[in-house]
Each structure stands twice: as C-alpha cells, then as structure tokens.
Copies of this chain bind each other. A is one copy, B any other.
Amino acid sequence: MKKEKLAISSRSTGRITLSDVAEHAGVSPITVSRALKNPLQVSEKLKEKIAISVKVLGYIPNHAARSLASSESKVITVIFPSLSNAVFPDVLDGLHDTLVSAGYRILLANTHYSSEQEETLVKTMLEQNPDGIIVTGIDQTQNTRELLKLSNTPVVQIMELDQNPIDMNVGLSHFDASYDLTNYLYSLGYKKIGFIGARMDLRSRRRMEGYQKSVLDQNGNEYVLSSLKNTSFKQGSELFVELISKHSDIDAIAFSNDDLAAGALLEATRRGMRIPEDIAIAGFNDLHFSEELIPPLTTVSIPRYEMGKQAAECLLYKIANKKQPICNQINIGYSIVPRQST
C-alpha cells in the first residue's frame, strides 16, 4: 500500500486523480480518460487493467475538472416557487426520473414565489454553467429573461403557456381550464357561482380570469374572494366561511386549488351543509386525496409527472442536437374531472 508519496505540491487535495490511476495501471492519463468516457476507443486489455486500478484506488472522477475541460456540466437547474404545493413534487419526479437516467444531476432552488428571488437564483445558478434550466411559469423579470437568453443555455418554462417563450415551453392554459370548469358548473344548472383563490400567483390569477370570462359569457354575477396567503385546508375553510356569510345564496364555488376546496368541503360538512345540494364545490389540480373526499371532489386534472418528463426530454433533445429544439412549445392539456361534489 504505497500511498503518501505525493505531497510534492502544496495544493494537492490528496484525492486520487486520473493520473494516479494511469500510473497504477501503467498507461497514460488520457487512456484512462478514454476508458471511462469512450470505452470503444480503448483495447479490452487496457480497459481491464484500468478498471482494476480504478477499483483498487477507489478513484472518483472530479466533476469540476471534467466540466472545466469539456465545458459540459451534466447539471440541470430546476427553479420552483415552492415544494409545499403538492403540484411540484410530482413535476419534479418526472424531471428527475428522466434526467437522472440520462446522466444528469438536478440543482434545485425555490423562489418562494418571488420574481426577485428568482432573478438572484438564476444568476447564481448560471455560475454552475448548467447544461439546461427549468423555470416555473412565465412571469420572469425582464432581467431574468435576458440573463437566460444571453447565457445561451437551453431553457424550458413549465406550467403555463408563454406567448413569447424565452426558449422552450411546456405547459397549459390555466385560463382555459378554469373557463371550462366554470362553464361546466353552469351547465350543471348552478346560477350563482363564486370563486375563491389564495396565494394569487400568475396561475391563480389566470384561473380567476377564466372564471370571470365564463361568468361574463353567462351574464352572471361575480363572487370573488382571494387572499395572498398560501393555499391550505385551513385557508380554504376560512375563505369559504367568509364568502358564504357575505353571499348566502351562492350555490357553487370554484377554488383555485384542491387544498382550498378540500378545506371548504370539510367546513361545509362540519356545518351540516349538504354537498352538492346546498353548495357545490370544485377544485383545481386533482391532488391525490381529492378523489377520496366525501363527496369526491370535482376538479381539473393536469398531467404533472408527464409535464416534468416532457420538459426534461425537450431539454435533452436540444442539448444533444444543438440546433433545432424538438419542441418550441408543448400544450400538455388538462381535463375536467366531474365527481360528486358538483
């Protein structure tokens, strides 16, 4: 076990390097490099020798050096507003599964729903020289958009559809989805339909606008209540109480999110209201629990895992084929899920 023979350089980290492996195997460093990255270019004999040396020495490639020499980082940056919102973990799963099996790593950051934090994060993340970037939504600051464009890194905006994408875009129209849902409620015979939203990020606002458009189309009245707090069961229950005490004749409510809807549904039950006879309730996102509520919740389903997967695939395709992206924009769609709460 000859070891500590180096210490010649004051800067050496002591970690086993490619050269150490090369020396051990009696070949040149570049051969080791090739054995690891382009095995076809190296003879079987040497590959075996090298494989043994790698094992014996416990060699671990240094990613920074590789990245510096090849200007490929094998890192994809993913920027989400938050993970508490159950929507994102599912999207992330889709991204993760696709990217990891293609040999990429995910650098994750949360903006906490702040465009300013997003800008800072994008700046920091760009230092990593990521091979690709995923950002959430389409309301990046002008600065962020420019940074991203100048960086020349493939970018996918997810969740929404951008009229003028930074680069690539995989999402759906939250306006249309909510418009359709509200129309569906009208078609069921409800007359006074309310809307309750929380957090009111751009996607929630679009959902509200879709609702408003539908109300307008039907010559109905708007009953809107929104809060800037995060969505939660509790928040849904509170807003629900507030809205029905103001407008006791409302017969249906669309919520910007299943969390809110579920909270309201439980609150209504607690108060002895019958659903949907006394009040109909609809959500958005089709979270895992929504089908299990009593009664099961009418909502809008969006293909979250699939969206992550497709976004990852777009990125991988563009990385591989520097030229044309396979997609500029993918509308991943949505579907209204009618259940017994309406």
Task: Give the B-binding residues of A (Cβ under 8 A).
Answer: 13, 58, 60-65, 67-68, 71, 73, 75, 82-84, 86, 89-90, 92-93, 96, 100, 105-110, 121, 123-129, 150-151, 232-234, 237, 259, 262-263, 266, 269-270, 288-289, 291-294
Set B62, B288, B291: member contacting A127, Cβ < 8 A = B62
B89 near A93: Cβ-Cβ < 8 Å: no
Closest chain B residue to A124 by CB distance? B105
- The docked-state distance in angstroms from the alpha carbon of A89 to that of B81 is 12
B58 touching A64, Cβ below 8 Å? no
Contacts of A292 in B (CB 8 A): 233-234, 237, 262-263, 266
CB distance from A149 to the nearest CB of B (A): 11
Query: Within the assembled complex, what's the spacing in Å between the Cα atoms of A62 and B294?
Result: 54
Bound form: Cα–Cα A262–B83 in Å: 21
| Besides the known contacts A65-B68, A83-B92, 8 further A-B residue pairs in the complex with CB atoms under 8 A apart | A58-B150, A64-B64, A105-B109, A105-B125, A107-B108, A232-B289, A233-B291, A263-B289
A108-B108 contact given A65-B68, A83-B92, A291-B234, CB 8 Å threshold:
yes
Return the contact of A61 from the options B67, B82, B127, B291 (Cβ within 8 A).
B127
Partner of A68, one of B68, B73, B109, B121: B68
State A208–B265 Cα separation when bound (angstroms). 33
Whether B263 contacts A127 by the Cβ 8 Å rule is no
* Residue pair B100, A93 in contact (C-beta under 8 Å): no
A121 CA / B103 CA spacing, docked (Å): 11
- Our pick among B110, B123, B289 for the contact of A233 (Cβ within 8 Å) is B289
Q: How far is the CA of A244 from the CA of B224 in the complex (A)?
A: 44
Q: Are B96 and A109 in contact (CB under 8 A)?
A: yes
**CA–CA, A124 to B96, complex, Å?**
14
Please give, as numbers and ranges, the residues of chain B lying within 8 Å of A96 by CB-CB distance.
108-110
Contact A127 B93 (CB under 8 A): no
Query: Which chain B residue has the least Cβ–Cβ distance from A105?
Result: B107
Q: Nearest Cβ in chain B — how far from A274, in angstroms?
A: 14
Task: Please determine whether A127 and B89 come into contact, CB atoms closer than 8 angstroms.
Answer: no
* Chain B residues within an 8 Å CB radius of A124: 105
Q: Is the CB of A62 within 8 A of B108?
A: no
Interface pairs (12), CB distance under 8 Å: A58-B150, A62-B68, A64-B67, A64-B128, A68-B68, A105-B109, A105-B128, A106-B107, A233-B291, A262-B292, A266-B293, A269-B294
CA distance A232 to B288 in the complex (A): 7
Cβ–Cβ contact B86 & A123, under 8 A: no
CA distance A62 to B73 in the complex (A): 11
- 5 smallest A-B Cβ distances: which pairs? A83-B89, A233-B292, A64-B67, A64-B68, A63-B127
